[in-house]
């Protein structure tokens, strides 16, 4: 929340203190932080430079740094700015504060236009086509900083006075900064107190008095000299940044492979995309539409946090695409022909009164903004959906629906010549020779070679990656298509056990099954199950839907369980396999070398803190289950940042939860016990 003091300065209501002591803070921010960390002298000629800030506040320090980067002809190719903020303002409050401080640059406007729905976690905001990335981490410093994966060249310490905000200036916080420090990193603070100096010195920084700001404010500049007291840091145990030519092979051109290929291509990588089928978006991605599938949990568990982070990344991607000349966001049901998809929103209906109460109680405890998720009663939900519903439920306005084939093609096309697509290219084996991976077909002929390989080929990934531990399950998914008029008026995604999503031509996709099955032949019983589940979402059931359900039930009673449904007003949709892990979380990251781990099993059993050996240059993005649209964007950002040595837009515990080595680690721990 924002207020203003008698001098017109923006004030934090929590601390009852101004965000910036100067009336015109631009020059002070440049002096204290840009100059205090020797930024421009140290980033020149660099490919990547990273800043970690404690206290985003009004964004002045970021905007000053962005301005310095833009003006410097010797700037680094990429700038990543990670900033933690415990109480992020709204875009409207940012505008009020910027107006009061006379900040009216185009960058200020761009920041507010890209401002995320500030839910807990890390949010990505791109500038200059992705050359500058702001990672806004919403939460307290003491909670978020230990979990950041953000190797840094500079630190900005810009919190309220230690007397008002002691947690931010503690020795523990400074040690966590040291864990992230790259060699030669500098820290700067606009507080010159003895406590700040001593905390920095204890963490391995060598503080010195910097020149006061133009307004006379004392500052500190400190150079990082050692890791004493910092402990073994995650920044030093993450997979090494890819060295050598920026070339990669991506195996599998479904949602995962196309999203990752597009992200790497946008970063300047040369990508060879290999697909065993004749077209892209085959296999489990062969569906008429896919929708975002968020998860809400009262304890905000890892699945809930991961799906929320993926939704935020999807929104950021939509904004990036729009800036690059893509179609603006809009309802899928009204999207132009050929549009990949857009934010259409999703209603997750409560099954009964008790479920409704649990939904409301969870929202009250989590206190998320309505722009992310809110609860609607039956009347409001029905009005928004355009059809009469049986219950109210959770409303996610930012959920997307997309045609996977068009979405995959869009990701590839945006990368242009950076991606070479080859279909009918089944990879029989992979071999590492010298510093490159070579992909061979069944005849032993070379399909492609590159230093980096990313396995995005679903159930076949463990074979090529020599992974025995994931224990993937193959589940069958089938959707059902309703003709125009069966659910007339539906304008958003609705459902609980099943979902219904309107298409631009008036048809509605209902789906989908998620069960065992060995056949890709359409099943009438699956269609009957889809329509039976979705019918429970409406009260009364629309007559055309009831008639379609009755016709399918009649065919089912006749004993015709296999074969495409051709009942009036409905037909079978696509059928495909989805691959899931036991914990229903995806596999995204570097693949462990299980043979090397077995050879060192005794050491791992004695000390499970020892990191596993990794296959050099081998990564995975698979086991996406029913959340292919969400996990694809997540994989693209995580793998892109990892390969380029950038701060990753996820907390460490979330990275661990999708780490392909997690099942191997559990197996070692069980043996140890």
Whether the per-residue pLDDT at 643 is higher than 70: the answer is: yes
Strands 181-189 and 205-210, bridge-based pairing: unpaired
Average pLDDT over residues 42-64: 96
The more confident residue out of 660 and 25 is 660
Lowest mean pLDDT among 306-315, 426-435, 608-617, 653-662: 608-617
pLDDT computed for residue 228 by the predictor: 53
Report the percent of the chain where pLDDT is more than 70: 89
Give Cα 179 to chain centroid, integer Å. Answer: 24
Give per-residue pLDDT as tens, 107-120.
999 999 999 999 99
pLDDT computed for residue 609 by the predictor: 72
User: Which residues, in sequence order, are CB contacts of 274 under 8 Å at separation 6+?
Assistant: 249, 250, 251, 252, 253, 422, 425, 427, 439, 447, 448
Whether the per-residue pLDDT at 469 is higher than 90: the answer is: no
Rounded to whole angstroms, how far apart are CA atoms 292 and 399? 5
Average pLDDT over residues 272-292: 91
Average pLDDT, the chain: 88
Task: State the pLDDT confidence band at 241, using cuts at 50, 70 and 90.
Answer: low
Query: In a 3-state reduction of DSSP, which class is residue 612?
Result: coil
Which of 261, 235, 263, 66 has the alpha carbon at shortest distance from 153? 235
Helix (H) or strand (E) holding 553: helix 543-557
Whether the per-residue pLDDT at 561 is higher than 70: the answer is: no
Please tell me what DSSP assigns to residue 113. Answer: H
Give yes or no for a contact between 538 and 390, defined as CB atoms under 8 angstroms apart: yes
The more confident residue out of 437 and 552 is 437
Average pLDDT over residues 266-283: 95
Strands 270-274 and 419-422, bridge-based pairing: parallel
Q: What's the pTM?
A: 0.91
User: What would the DSSP string read from start to end of 282-310?
Assistant: -GGG--S-EE------TT--HHHHHHHHH
Average pLDDT over residues 618-622: 98
Task: State the pLDDT confidence band at 604, using cuts at 50, 70 and 90.
Answer: confident
Query: What sign results for the dihedral spanned by CA atoms 621, 625, 627, 629?
Result: positive
Lowest mean pLDDT among 151-160, 291-300, 607-616: 607-616
pLDDT computed for residue 19 by the predictor: 73
Query: Both tokens of residue 114?
Result: 């890209």
Rounded to whole angstroms, how far apart are CA atoms 257 and 167? 43
Range ranked top by mean pLDDT from 74-83, 188-197, 281-290, 398-407: 74-83
Task: State the pLDDT confidence band at 601, using cuts at 50, 70 and 90.
Answer: confident
Which of 141, 284, 376, 122 has the alpha carbon at shortest distance from 632? 284
Average pLDDT over residues 542-562: 81
Whether the per-residue pLDDT at 215 is higher than 90: the answer is: no
User: Which residues, in sequence order, are CB contacts of 464 under 8 Å at separation 6+?
Assistant: 251, 427, 429, 430, 455, 457
pLDDT computed for residue 216 by the predictor: 57
Give per-residue pLDDT as tens, 340-387.
556 799 999 999 999 999 999 999 999 999 999 999 999 999 999 999
Give yes or no for a contact between 531 and 545, defined as CB atoms under 8 angstroms apart: yes
pLDDT computed for residue 229 by the predictor: 46
Q: Is 569 left (phi over 0), alpha (psi -120 to 50) or beta?
A: left
Average pLDDT over residues 66-77: 97
Assign 3-state DSSP to the chain and report helix, strand, coil percentages, each to 5.
35, 25, 40
Whether the per-residue pLDDT at 451 is higher than 80: the answer is: yes
């Amino acid at each position: 929340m924002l207020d203003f003091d008698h001098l017109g300065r923006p004030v934090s209501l929590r601390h009852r203190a101004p965000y910036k002591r100067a009336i015109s803070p631009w020059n002070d921010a440049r002096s204290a932080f840009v100059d205090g960390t020797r930024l421009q002298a140290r980033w020149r000629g660099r490919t990547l430079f990273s800043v970690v800030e404690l206290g985003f506040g009004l964004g002045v320090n970021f905007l000053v740094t962005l301005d310095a980067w833009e003006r410097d002809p010797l700037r680094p190719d990429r700038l990543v700015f990670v900033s933690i903020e415990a109480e992020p303002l709204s875009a409207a409050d940012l505008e009020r504060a910027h107006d009061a401080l006379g900040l009216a640059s185009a960058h200020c406007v761009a920041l507010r236009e890209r401002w995320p729905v500030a839910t807990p976690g890390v949010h990505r905001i791109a500038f200059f086509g992705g050359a500058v990335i702001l990672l806004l981490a919403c939460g307290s410093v003491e909670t978020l900083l230990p979990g950041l994966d953000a190797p840094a060249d500079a630190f900005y310490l810009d919190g309220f006075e230690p007397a008002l905000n002691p947690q931010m200036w503690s020795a523990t916080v400074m040690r966590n900064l040291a864990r992230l420090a790259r060699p030669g990193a500098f820290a700067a603070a606009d507080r010159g107190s003895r406590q700040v100096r001593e905390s920095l010195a204890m963490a391995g920084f060598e503080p010195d008095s910097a020149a006061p700001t133009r307004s006379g404010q004392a500052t500190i500049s400190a150079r990082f000299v050692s890791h004493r007291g910092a402990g073994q840091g995650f920044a030093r145990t993450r997979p090494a940044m890819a060295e050598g030519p920026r070339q990669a092979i991506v195996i599998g051109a479904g949602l995962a492979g196309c999203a990752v290929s597009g992200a790497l291509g946008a970063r300047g990588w040369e990508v060879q995309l290999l697909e065993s089928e004749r077209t892209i978006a085959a296999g489990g991605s062969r569906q008429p539409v896919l929708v975002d599938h968020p998860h809400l949990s009262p304890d905000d568990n890892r699945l809930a946090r991961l799906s929320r982070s993926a939704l935020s990344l999807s929104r950021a991607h939509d904004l990036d695409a729009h800036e690059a000349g893509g179609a603006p966001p809009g309802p899928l049901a009204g999207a132009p022909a050929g549009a990949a998809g857009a934010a259409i929103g999703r209603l997750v209906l409560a099954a009964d009164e008790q479920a409704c109460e649990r939904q409301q109680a969870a929202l009250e405890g989590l206190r998320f903004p309505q722009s992310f998720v809110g609860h609607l009663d039956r009347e409001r939900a029905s009005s928004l959906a355009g059809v009469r519903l049986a219950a109210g439920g959770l409303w996610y306005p930012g959920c997307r629906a997309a045609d996977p084939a068009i979405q995959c093609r869009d990701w590839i096309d945006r990368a242009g010549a950076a991606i070479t697509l080859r279909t009918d290219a089944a990879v029989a084996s992979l071999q590492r020779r010298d510093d490159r991976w070579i992909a061979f077909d069944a005849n032993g002929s070379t399909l492609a070679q590159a230093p980096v390989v990313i396995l995005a080929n679903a159930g076949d990934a463990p074979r090529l990656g020599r992974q025995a531990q994931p224990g993937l399950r193959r589940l069958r998914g089938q959707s059902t298509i309703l003709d125009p008029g069966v659910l007339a008026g539906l304008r958003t995604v609705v459902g609980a056990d099943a979902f219904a999503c309107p298409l631009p031509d008036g048809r509605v996709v209902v789906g989908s099954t998620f069960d065992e099955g060995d056949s890709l032949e359409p099943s009438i019983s699956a269609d009957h199950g889809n329509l039976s589940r979705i019918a429970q979402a409406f009260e009364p059931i629309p007559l055309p839907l009831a008639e379609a359900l009755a016709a399918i039930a009649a065919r089912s009673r006749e004993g015709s369980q296999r074969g495409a449904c051709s009942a009036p007003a409905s037909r079978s949709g696509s059928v495909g396999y989805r691959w899931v892990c036991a914990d229903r979380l995806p596999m995204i990251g570097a693949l462990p070398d299980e043979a090397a781990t077995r050879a060192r099993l005794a050491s791992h059993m004695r000390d499970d803190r020892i990191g596993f050996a990794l296959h050099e240059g081998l990564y995975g993005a698979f086991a996406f289950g029913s959340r292919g649209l969400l996990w694809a964007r997540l994989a693209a950002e995580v793998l892109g940042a990892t390969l380029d040595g950038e701060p990753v837009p996820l907390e460490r515990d979330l990275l661990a939860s999708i780490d392909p080595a997690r099942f191997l680690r559990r197996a070692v721990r069980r043996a140890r016990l």
